[in-house]
A and B are shown apart, each in its own frame.
Chain A
Amino acid sequence: NAGVTQTPKFQVLKTGQSMTLQCAQDMNHNSMYWYRQDPGMGLRLIYYSASEGTTDKGEVPNGYNVSRLNKREFSLRLESAAPSQTSVYFCASKVVKGSNYGYTFGSGTRLTVV
């Protein structure tokens, strides 16, 4: 049981290049999320998918697109990377365990756009 797996762990892009960040969870969760974490800003929601086949914008969606490929996989695409997208990106899925629930996060993708 790996939880939430993100690839790649590190990436350097040139301005204008495109790339896709991959996320997969093996916990059979319906809801999945993409966050970015920046110093002094906390974690901010980019996009989320409440269930397979649906996606919605979060707080900072501009410059990103997402695909919920199936129940397990939720990818984040940068079509034309900008230096402002330099950040650490986290994927998460929502856990429901009886009276206690939370979100399980992946280990992150550290992206630098030069």
Chain B
Amino acid sequence: EDQVTQSPEALRLQEGESSSLNCSYTVSGLRGLFWYRQDPGKGPEFLFTLYSAGEEKEKERLKATLTKKESFLHITAPKPEDSATYLCAVQGPSGSRLTFGEGTQLTVNP
């Protein structure tokens, strides 16, 4: 059974204070690891897909990395508008479903 664990559950940062969010996973045959951002009252918004260990992707202040057991979402010099819940999900070999973690709620104070 695929499993995804995200840590920490909640993270408070000051504006400009860089940090990382962790996503640990177990899946037999990873087809893709996904990062999403979710704002209150909204649906998840797609950020990145990573396919294999060693892969990295960047978008503005966000950088996602992948190893065989975990993924990190690095946030460099965050701004208050980066405040959101960040969700990690994996897709196994069946390709028919995503297994989500519970998310990390990020708050960036000005």
Interface residues, chain A, CB within 8 Å of chain B? 4, 33, 40-45, 48, 50, 56, 58-59, 90, 92, 95, 100-108
Contacts and interface: CB of A to CB of B under 8 A. Distances in A.
B87 interface: yes
A43 B46 contact: no
A42 B97 contact: no
Interface in B7-61: 32, 34, 36, 41-46, 48-49
Contacts of B103: 42
Given A41-B102, A42-B87, A103-B44, 19 more contacts: A4-B43, A42-B101, A43-B44, A44-B100, A45-B97, A45-B98, A48-B97, A59-B97, A90-B43, A100-B48, A101-B32, A101-B49, A102-B36, A103-B34, A103-B46, A103-B98, A105-B36, A106-B43, A107-B43
A101 to B, nearest CB: 6
B49 A100 contact: yes
Interface of A is mostly: strand
Interface string B66-98: 000000000000000000000101000000111
Nearest to B51: A99
What range describes how many residues of B lie at the interface? 20 to 34
A43 B100 contact: yes
A110 to B, nearest CB: 8
A95 B46 contact: yes
A50 B46 contact: no
Contacts of B102: 40-42
A43 B48 CA distance: 18
Contact of B42 (A50, A58, A59, A108): A108
A101 B100 CA distance: 16
